[in-house]
Every structure is written in structure tokens, then in C-alpha cells.
Amino acid sequence: MTLAIGFIMVIELCERVGYYTFQSTQKSWLQNQGYSNASSSSMNQVFGLLSYVSCFFGGWLAETPLGRYRTIMALVAVYVAGCFLAAIATHLGIESVPLYFVGTFFLIALGTGGIKPNVCTFGADQIDPALPDVDKRKESFFMYFYLMINVGCLIAFGFLANVATAGLPGLILADEGFFYAYMISAGLMAFALVAYISGTPWYRKESFQTNSKAVLGPCVHRLWAGRDHLLGKVALAGWALLPLLIIVSIVQAVLPSGALTTVSLVLDVLCIGCLCIAHTDNRWLGEADAMTKCLDAVPAILVGNVTFNVLYNTMSSVFYSQSCQMDTRLGSGADAMQLNGAFFNLGDALAIIIFTPLIDRCFLPVAEWLAGRKIGYDLKILTGIGFAMAAQAIAALLEYFRKQ
């Protein structure tokens, strides 16, 4: 691993520490400010929604003349500002919800959108494609990159989430936990920004190249050109519903309403249905090329990601609420330190670190030997969704017996 890649790894590690610290403690802080269990969960989900939606903006910006290097630098700086602003907003003498929302829902979410879609690509750009073992080097890079993500999870869920809600005995009072946890996150992000800029002399000059060609324009033009076809109309309806769906979801979280929840669900189904129907067969777009091949993947990406993430996101919503009904103290005394419910998300990070190599090197070869054929991505995805469904069933049973 080169020195240039090391600087980039620092950004990913620090960003994941910051993101997961805010994501795992936001619900608790909002409840402390008077938000209900349901409202705080909804707002926390909106924070995640905005963070991932902004990836469209960050990805697009990197493909403009601004370039990937400057996009990352600018939006990391935005992220740093958001962390410090949110930390100040949670200080006991301030406790400002509007200030907190500006820091997290705007600045941190925007910063995440600049980092998440670009840092891994910028890191891979540091590997010279002329090297004879380039594929092996890239495989190694992405393995270490993903490792950094999960090390960030360990720090956020295992340490900072507990500091935020319980303080640090002898050092940080429980009432000041959020402020110090967020300031630590802000400090790490500031360090990441300095590290990223410091690595500039070591980055490959090719990675500073910018794109002068339009990225989204040709795709929009191609879809619009097919508007006379029935499937073209269905596709345009599906893509048009996406921003509307995002707006309704945000409004529904801010102004809880049963009617808005129903509207959001209907829009979800319509949007997914339209896009899956329209892009299952893209011959209506004309001759097959790179663009149609890209759109061919839309149904699988939509169905797979929506199905899995509905299950996965329960870790930061209903699972978190369920943990609040449990005795998570370390010890039996009244003053014993209580673990934040997000602490149990360590199971996810540890499972990835431990089981990913075991599944890849042990379980899969045995399963393929028994089956007498290669196991494709579809079966792997379905197996993962099956385990996620089993987790929901176990959580439901646990809640059922708890209420007895």
C-alpha cells in the first residue's frame, strides 16, 4: 500500500467514525430535546436519507471541471464545519436544535455526499494501471478500504456512542457526553482534512485530471428521446417520482401524519414499480450500448437494495428503540455505566470483519463443491436477505416474550 493511499484511508476511517457517531446517538439527543420515540427515529432516518441522496450531487460534482480531488477537499471541509457546529449545538449552555439540524442534516449530510462516492475511486486512481499486478493491488486496496469502514464502526459504536449518552467515568460527565463525543468526531475529521491535503505531493498526477464532458445530460436526453414509447413514459414517471418521494419523506418526518405516511408508501411502490417495469428490457431506448447496459441494472439494484436496507436500517431505528427497553448497565449498581443501544451494532462490524474472509475462503468453496456448480451473486444476495429476515424474526420473538 502506497503512502498516497494511506492518506486516503485516513479520510475514510475518520469519516465513518464521525458519521456513525452522529447516526447512532442522534435519536437519543433528539429525545432529550423533547422529540418522541417515533419522531426521533423518523428524523434519524431522514439524516441517513439526506446523506445518501447527496452522494448524487457529490458524484456529479466530481465529474465536472472541478474534479474529484477538489470535490473531496471542499466537501470534507464542509463536513468538518458541520461536526463542529453540531457539537457546539449540543453544549449544555446552548442546546440548540436548529443549529444541530444545520450541522447534521445540511453540512454533514452534504459532506458525506462528497466523500462516499469519491474517496474509494480516488484511492483506486493511485494504483498505476501499467503495473503487472494491478488487479491484485486493487483487490488489496478495496479490502483495506472496507476494513477502515468497519474499524470506524468499532470506534463509533464501541466507544463514542457510549461516551455520548453515558459520559466517561472520572473524565466526562454524562450530561456533557454528546458535546465531547461530537468534538472528538470533529477533531478527527479536521485531522483527516489536513492528512488529505498533506498527501497532495504523493498523489498520481493522473488522479487530478478533470472531466469536461457532460455526465447526466446524455442520459436525460436519451430517456427523453424515448418518451413516445409506452415504456418511455413509464420510465420518465418513475424517475420523476424520485425527488417527489424524497420531499414527501422529509416532510412526513418533520410533520408526522398518517396520511403522509400512506402517500409516501404509495409513491415508493409506484416509483419502484415504474422503474422496474420500464428498465427490465431497454430495447425501447434503441441500440444496446453502455447506457442501456447501465439501465439494465436498475431493477436488480432497486429491488435488492430496497429489500435489504429496509431490514438493515432497523439497526438504527426499531432495534435501537428495543434496546432502550433493556437493562444494558455494566454491573448492577444504580451508578453503573449503561451501554448505548447502538453498542450492539458492533455485531454487524465484527461479523463483516470475521465472517467475510471465512465465507469467501471456507464456506463458499464447500457449498460450491456440494452443489457441483459456482454460486452466483443472486444466491449470495438472497442468502444475505434471508439472514436479515431471520434477525427480524428473532427480534420480534424477543419483544413478544419481553411483553409477557
- Which residue carries 464542509 as its cell? 78
- Partner residues linked to 172 by β-bridges: 168
pLDDT for residue 71 = 93
Find the DSSP H helices in 33-66: 37-62
pTM: 0.83
Contacts with 13 (C-beta within 8 Å, 6 or more apart), sequence order: 148, 151, 152, 192
Nearest alpha carbon to residue 295 among 234, 379, 385, 384 = 234
Query: Is the distance from CB of 108 to CB of 82 less than 8 angstroms?
Result: yes
The helix-helix angle for 37-62 and 67-89 (nearest 10°) equals 160
pLDDT for residue 30 = 92
Query: Is the distance from CB of 49 to CB of 246 less than 8 angstroms?
Result: yes
pLDDT for residue 210 = 76
- Partner residues linked to 168 by β-bridges: 172
H-helix or E-strand spanning residue 137: helix 134-155
- DSSP 8-state code for residue 255: S
pLDDT for residue 107 = 95
Walk along the chain (404 residues) and give the pLDDT tens digit of each residue: 578 888 899 999 999 999 999 998 998 899 989 888 888 888 888 898 899 889 889 988 888 888 889 999 999 999 999 999 999 999 988 889 999 999 999 999 999 988 988 988 888 888 888 888 787 788 778 878 888 888 898 899 888 988 888 888 888 888 899 999 999 999 999 999 999 999 989 888 887 887 767 767 788 888 888 888 999 999 999 999 999 988 988 888 888 788 888 888 899 899 999 999 999 988 888 888 888 888 888 898 888 888 888 888 787 777 877 877 787 777 777 677 777 777 787 788 788 778 877 887 888 888 888 888 888 877 887 888 888 888 889 988 988 888 87
DSSP string, 57-79: HHHHHHTSTTHHHHHHHHHHHHH
User: Would you give the end-to-end CA distance of the chain in angstroms?
Assistant: 55
Task: Please give the C-alpha separations between residue 316 and each of 121, 213, 269, 346, 380, in angstroms, as whole numbers.
Answer: 28, 39, 23, 12, 24
Q: 278-283 — which CB contacts under 8 Å span 24+ positions? A: 278/231, 278/232, 278/234, 278/235, 278/238, 279/235, 281/231
Contacts with 96 (C-beta within 8 Å, 6 or more apart), sequence order: 89
Nearest alpha carbon to residue 279 among 291, 269, 268, 262 = 291
